[in-house]
């Protein structure tokens, strides 16, 4: 194999593909990047048996072939090369020669046949969604994916399509995030995508990504993003009945400026840390949200004007969970529904229904 290409394009492709490379594996090839020439293009692939990322870039191909290069070493060499043009060649012993200007390296490669074949989705269903829409939907729900739950389904997000509407749902036992957008797809469909894979999808969607094509099979899914394809195994497990967890009634409604409420909680959080996880006490009184926090470090109190209808109440919540929800709203104003001190706190946009975030309250002690 022999080719030359742009350092900038190769470096960018290597960095992105490298995210799917296994850090430590009993299969040496999985710790490398598969480099091949196909139909006049240079194709790079990383795969850790759970998620695969592949891309193609323009290159001047002199001789077709394939090799597996150590991802860590290859990436560092390409990044440090002095000139914009790079030439790469392999010999019969799989030695990889990398040249740029007066700099050259010789590193040992592995046979491309040692690299496992990526799964294919042949009989799946296809759909498209705007890039910026999918990026925001993932970003606004991924924070609620569990990283500790023993239930496999909660380590991913549920994609639920009903009545030409796509919902992405994440839950971790203490909070729930639902994001909804219209989609041009006939029929109903549900599948669970691992959180790790969704994080990579979000990173690869740029401001220039107009659309993302999603191909869903029985066990795998492919996201096609610009020149990249991400394939990942679906989580085969039963997702919780999240609809039953969303309260249908409320006794108190609050409309409040999102940024001001975030700042208020942030000030309370100065007295909290990993060892001191006391809840923030929140008193809803007439047209005021009164927050307070009492820890061995001291006491804090703050007030915030809000539009409040319904009953006054006192409720406690975890500062991190509430902050995560509010920071992912992307709206100037939020509407918050409460139904007593022990019912889930429901956060919605001031107008519309594009998201629903739930935060479980924390039972307060009587002392203040």
Domain boundary assignment for the chain:
2-114, 126-242, 246-359
What is the predicted pLDDT for the residue at 310?
96
Over residues 326-335, the mean pLDDT reads 96
Q: What is the CATH number that goes with domain 126-242? A: 3.10.150.10
Indicate if the pLDDT at residue 149 is higher than 80: no
What is the topology classification, in CATH, of domain 2-114?
A: DNA Polymerase III; Chain A, domain 2 (3.10.150)
Indicate if the pLDDT at residue 367 is higher than 70: no
pLDDT tens-digit readout, 126-146? 999 999 999 999 999 999 998
Contact by Cβ (8 Å): 14, 34: no
Q: Which of 169-183, 215-229, 248-262, 268-282 has the lowest mean pLDDT?
A: 268-282
Task: Identify the architecture of domain 246-359 in CATH.
Answer: Roll (3.10)
pLDDT tens-digit readout, 4-61? 999 999 999 999 999 999 988 889 999 999 999 999 999 999 999 999 999 999 999 9
For residue 293, name the pLDDT band (cuts at 50, 70, 90). very high
What is the predicted pLDDT for the residue at 29?
95
Distance between CA atoms of residues 246 and 234, nearest Å: 25
Tokens 């990889």 — which residue? 96
Q: Diameter of the chain by CA atoms?
A: 80
pLDDT tens-digit readout, 214-250? 999 999 999 999 999 999 999 999 999 999 999 999 9
% of residues, the chain, pLDDT over 70: 99
pLDDT tens-digit readout, 180-216? 999 999 889 999 999 999 999 999 999 999 999 999 9
What is the predicted pLDDT for the residue at 121?
84
What is the predicted pLDDT for the residue at 368?
47
Q: Which residues touch 60 (CB under 8 Å, ≥6 apart)?
A: 3, 4, 5
- Answer whether 126-242 and 246-359 agree in fold: yes
Three-state secondary structure of 301-329: EEEEECEEEECCEEEEECHHHHHHHHHCC
What is the predicted pLDDT for the residue at 28?
93
Tell me how crowded residue 124 is: count the other CB atoms within 10 A of its CB: 16
In 143-235 the beta strands, taken as DSSP E runs, fall at: 156-162, 165-171, 175-182, 189-194, 211-216, 220-225, 228-233
Tell me how crowded residue 208 is: count the other CB atoms within 10 A of its CB: 7
Distance between CA atoms of residues 42 and 50, nearest Å: 23
What is the predicted pLDDT for the residue at 150?
78
What is the predicted pLDDT for the residue at 304?
96
Indicate if the pLDDT at residue 274 is higher than 80: no
């Amino acid at each position: 194999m022999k080719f030359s290409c742009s350092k900038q394009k190769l470096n960018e492709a290597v960095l992105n593909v490298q995210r799917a490379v296994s850090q430590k594996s009993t299969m040496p090839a999985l710790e490398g990047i598969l480099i091949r020439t196909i139909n006049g293009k240079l194709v790079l692939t990383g795969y850790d048996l759970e998620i695969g990322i592949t891309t193609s870039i323009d290159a001047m191909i002199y001789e077709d072939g394939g090799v597996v290069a150590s991802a860590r070493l290859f990436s560092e060499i390409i990044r440090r090369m002095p000139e914009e043009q790079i030439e790469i060649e392999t010999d019969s012993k799989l030695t990889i020669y990398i040249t740029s200007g007066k700099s050259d390296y010789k590193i040992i490669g592995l046979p491309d046949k040692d690299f496992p074949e990526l799964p294919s989705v042949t009989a799946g269903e296809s759909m498209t969604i705007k890039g910026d829409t999918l990026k925001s939907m993932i970003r606004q729900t991924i924070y609620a994916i569990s990283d500790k739950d023993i239930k496999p389904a909660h380590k991913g997000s549920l994609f639920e399509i009903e009545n030409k509407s796509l919902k992405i749902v994440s839950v971790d036992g203490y909070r729930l995030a639902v994001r909804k957008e219209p989609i041009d797809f006939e029929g109903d469909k549900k599948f669970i995508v691992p959180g790790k894979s969704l994080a990579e999808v979000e990173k690869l969607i740029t401001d220039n990504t107009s659309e993302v094509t999603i191909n869903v099979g029985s066990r795998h899914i492919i996201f096609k993003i610009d020149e990249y394809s991400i394939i990942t195994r679906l989580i085969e497990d039963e997702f919780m009945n999240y609809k039953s967890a969303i309260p249908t009634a409320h006794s108190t409604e609050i409309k409040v400026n999102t940024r001001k409420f975030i700042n208020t909680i942030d000030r309370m959080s100065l007295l909290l840390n990993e060892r001191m996880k006391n809840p923030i006490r929140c008193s809803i009184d007439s047209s005021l949200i009164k927050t307070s926090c009492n820890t061995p470090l001291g006491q804090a109190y703050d007030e915030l004007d809000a539009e409040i209808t319904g009953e006054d109440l006192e409720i406690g919540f975890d500062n991190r969970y509430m902050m995560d929800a509010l920071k992912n709203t992307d709206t100037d104003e939020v509407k918050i529904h409460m139904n007593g001190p022990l019912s889930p706190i429901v956060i919605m946009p001031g107008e519309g229904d594009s998201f629903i975030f739930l935060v479980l309250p924390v039972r307060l002690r009587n002392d203040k």
